[in-house]
A = this chain, B = another copy of it.
């Protein structure tokens, strides 16, 4: 069921809203002219009205049972923020020029995650357009926008969105997004949007006045879970499915990144994500190009990405955070919190070979067995990164990897990601080893909520950082500190790092063996004593091998360790990458001994 306000183009606007337990619902237009129009009750708990002389730009609330006035849960625009009226949007006004765009399947993506508010000086969607040539030059084929759904205030990561259908007003609203997507498509870049279906708000969330959007049955870190399997859940499920389709239809979005699906509780016979995948496929068939779903999942459950015929959800791909944690803890030596479960070369070896490291193994951090085996899963269903907004932002000081590690180690980590049989994801700025932190920031207007957020973070950090002070999330300067400093790219390291990333992406595109997702044709050797991982990747068209020293000191590669004779195609320590010069020779041979300096990374073709 289509919900929200739909401008028909002839001076008429139709309104549909779900409020199954209300006795009367009306549209209250507040501008340009105030009027109240009663809605008609329809099957399934929906209310409907067609109203004349309602043009795009009109503002409205819904009036529930004569007294309660609330914005539209499916509002497409909240020009005055989460508490104000909703605005009628004409989704057909924009002149799209991307009809030739065929999309990019996940396996061809190199994803660049960015936060609109801190990526550019303006912090708007439209201002991202100025960076597209840069991204094209870097070689990424997809940008992933952190959540755009209307959140309270002007500063937020986006996970406090209260209006899943509305593009954040301070980001420039629906128009800004359409412009950005249209230009990205003209440059061959796909656009992914991060959507949050595990909770809403809390500030500015009025859906509970409309119906049973939440259930007491399950508890999430944000309170009662969204109701996907309890009484009246059909309307809530429709809300989520229509939301996904709205991003595809109204904004030509290529794929959705589904936030933290471990917070989506559905014990019914058809999991909401299964239905969402079905409906995404149906939409794809109708629209002529495929749209994709990529889940952020903490479950290590292959069912998420198994086919629906196989009792899976049929989600196209999912994040594999195990890879990040293995790389991060191995290089930083950190063992706190979830890093307690990682840190050895063996962990990383398993990630390269299988994908999930925890495949029903005992997790110290979780204090239980965790995960399922991903041996049978294609690498093109797993997205990996060496940092993202979460891993960076959920630290006391918001440090990126480039602020925690020596420069050579940063390039090694990136190299490891690019030679892995998985889809790589970059976090904005990592390509030039940015030195700006990415901190947690909010701009709620509800003072109690602000204090609750501060207290929550204090608690979270208490164990980890022994009472050290941290940046106030509500302080305006916290966002400002997190804004990328584009001048850094002109520095020696900034430039060297950028060229390294660019070159790795270029090689991955050029060399089939490097871009292959066939885990059966990867050979991984981890030499614990030597901190050394050697990966061979085989393909009909040729083979490559990456030699990686994860130790800070030099290591000796004795005769016999290398199984091939090959020519070097890249070395992260080359001078063009702001290094001291290649660590291994141009030609490598089987029976020779080599000494490889700390954090060395080199790739050979053979």
Contacts and interface: CB of A to CB of B under 8 A. Distances in A.
A495 interface: no
A368 B232 contact: yes
Contacts of A572: none
Contact of A362 (B234, B301, B303, B306): B234
A370 B268 contact: yes
A299 B219 CA distance: 20
B269 A371 contact: yes
Contacts of A299: 267-269
A225 to B, nearest CB: 9
Interface in A296-320: 299-303, 306, 310-312
Most B-side CB within 10 Å, residue of A231, A268, A310: A268
Interface size class of A (residues with CB under 8 A): 20 to 34
Nearest to A236: B368
A5 B303 CA distance: 39
Contacts of A216: 219
A486 interface: no
Contacts of A368: 229-234, 268
A369 B270 contact: yes
Contacts of A371: 269
Interface in A214-260: 216-219, 229-234
A265 interface: yes
A396 to B, nearest CB: 24
Contact of A262 (B267, B312, B362): B267
A487 interface: no
A300 B268 CA distance: 9
B303 A372 contact: no
A360 interface: yes
A301 B269 CA distance: 5
A366 interface: yes
Contact of A265 (B230, B231, B267): B267
Interface in A357-392: 360, 362, 366-372
Contacts of A234: 362, 367-369
B231 A366 contact: yes
Copies in the complex: 2
Contact of A310 (B218, B230, B233, B310): B310
Nearest to A219: B217
Interface string A185-223: 000000000000000000000000000000011110000
B306 A311 contact: yes
A299 B266 CA distance: 11
Nearest to A309: B310
A370 B311 contact: no
A233 B218 CA distance: 17
A219 B215 CA distance: 10
A156 to B, nearest CB: 27
Contact of A360 (B230, B270, B370): B270
Contact of A218 (B217, B262, B303): B217
Nearest to A228: B368
Most B-side CB within 10 Å, residue of A219, A299, A312, A369: A369
Interface in A95-114: none
A276 to B, nearest CB: 14
Contacts of A369: 234, 268, 270
A230 B367 CA distance: 8
Nearest to A266: B267
Most B-side CB within 10 Å, residue of A268, A269, A303, A370: A269
Interface string A143-160: 000000000000000000
A601 to B, nearest CB: 33
A360 B303 contact: no
Interface string A266-302: 0111100000000000000000000000000001111
Interface in A130-167: none
A301 B229 CA distance: 13
A491 to B, nearest CB: 44
A570 to B, nearest CB: 37
Contacts of A300: 269
Contacts of A231: 366-368
Contacts of A301: 268-269
Nearest to A235: B368
A299 B372 CA distance: 24
A269 B219 contact: no
Nearest to A217: B219
13 contacts: A217-B218, A229-B368, A233-B368, A234-B369, A268-B299, A268-B368, A268-B369, A268-B370, A269-B360, A270-B360, A302-B311, A303-B311, A311-B311
Given A231-B368, A232-B368, 15 more contacts: A229-B368, A232-B367, A234-B362, A234-B368, A262-B267, A265-B267, A268-B301, A268-B368, A268-B370, A269-B299, A269-B301, A269-B302, A303-B311, A310-B311, A311-B312
Closest 9 CB pairs of A and B: A311-B311, A269-B301, A269-B372, A231-B367, A233-B368, A303-B311, A269-B371, A234-B368, A217-B219
